[in-house]
Amino acid sequence: MPLDLLLLIYLSAAANGLLIGAISLPLIISRSILFALTMTHSILGGAILGVYLNEVLGISLPVPVTAFLMALILSILVAELSERIFSEDVSIALAVALATTITVVFSYLLAKASSTGLSLAWVYVAGTSAVATLGDLQRTLTGLVITAPLMHLISGEIKYIAFDRDGAEAMGINTRLYRYLFFALGSLTASILSMSIGVLATHVLLAIPGAIAVRFFRRRLFAASYLSATSLSLGGYALAQVMNIPPSGGIGILSAIAVIGMVVARES
């Protein structure tokens, strides 16, 4: 493999890791991992809907935009339902059910109407091949520049709202604004990652780096989250090349090893 292409692949892997590190810790400390489940389900549904619009109806709306908008809409739905009617767990379950319904219905319609549609949609499940493009790197870096500074800025308020929402409101914190911003950044991050490493690997990686940081580090938690996520991403890409599988496969294997390691460390 040419050196410039190899460098591009690992730069993209490092950028993916940094992007994951920026969102993983806030998800853990705000107890919002179930929210990550909503994002990944809705991104898959949005991606399949986007492919259907492109391949069958001829509507030239970029699939990443459709995936992001679906994740954002369902995230807002979770926020509104948990704000007004149900608990957050019930609201997330309803949103996941809706996202799953969209996925199933449009997968069926896509399979009937287009022979290549499902293969295009499958990219969002398993991720792309191990060959990265300059566009992939630019997209990830753009997401990182937007997400990381804002996450550092609002992480304290997000944690406070998660543990004492009434107290946060009594102090004059606009809890709805912070939650919507958090959900929007989470949706943006997950949609970008799903284009490169796939929905399944994204779902796994959103939780593990933050969990490692909280479990094994007392200080510099964000630095630990970035380091863990980047290591898993770079190691996953390297393992994928050795095994000749998509990056999501290598990342998934390393993530499983990390989870087992945390369990063993806890028991010892």
58-68 pLDDT, tens digit per residue, is 888 888 888 88
Find the range with the poorest average confidence among 10-19, 118-127, 193-202.
118-127
Region 16-28 average pLDDT: 90
Residue pair 46/104 in contact (Cβ under 8 Å)? The answer is: no
Token output for 143: 């997401």
CB atoms under 10 Å from CB of 104, counted, come to 12
Residue in the structure block whose two tokens are 């496969």: 249
Q: Is 198 left (phi over 0), alpha (psi -120 to 50) or beta?
A: left
Tracing tokens 């949706």 back to the chain, one arrives at 187
pTM (two decimals): 0.84
Give the residue, 225 or 166, on which the prediction is more confident.
225
Of 20, 4, 2, 1, the C-alpha closest to 234 is 20
Phi, psi dihedrals of residue 193, rounded to the nearest 5°: -65, -35
pLDDT recorded at residue 144:
92
- 16 vs 32: which has the higher pLDDT: 16
Q: What angle do CA 237, 152, 263 make, to 5 degrees?
A: 50
Question: What sign has the CA pseudo-torsion 255, 257, 259, 265?
Answer: negative
Q: Are 20 and 206 in contact (CB under 8 A)?
A: yes
Most confident of the following: 160-169, 197-206, 228-237, 243-252: 228-237
Q: Which of 98, 84, 80, 33 is nearest to 179 (CA)?
A: 80
> What does the alpha-carbon distance between residue 149 and residue 245 come to, in Å, rounded to a whole number?
33
Q: Is the pLDDT of residue 130 over 60?
A: no
pLDDT band (50, 70, 90) for residue 165? confident
| Helices and strands in the chain, H and E counts | 11, 0
The CATH homologous superfamily for domain 3-267 is: ABC transporter involved in vitamin B12 uptake, BtuC (1.10.3470.10)
162, 178 in Cβ contact below 8 A? no
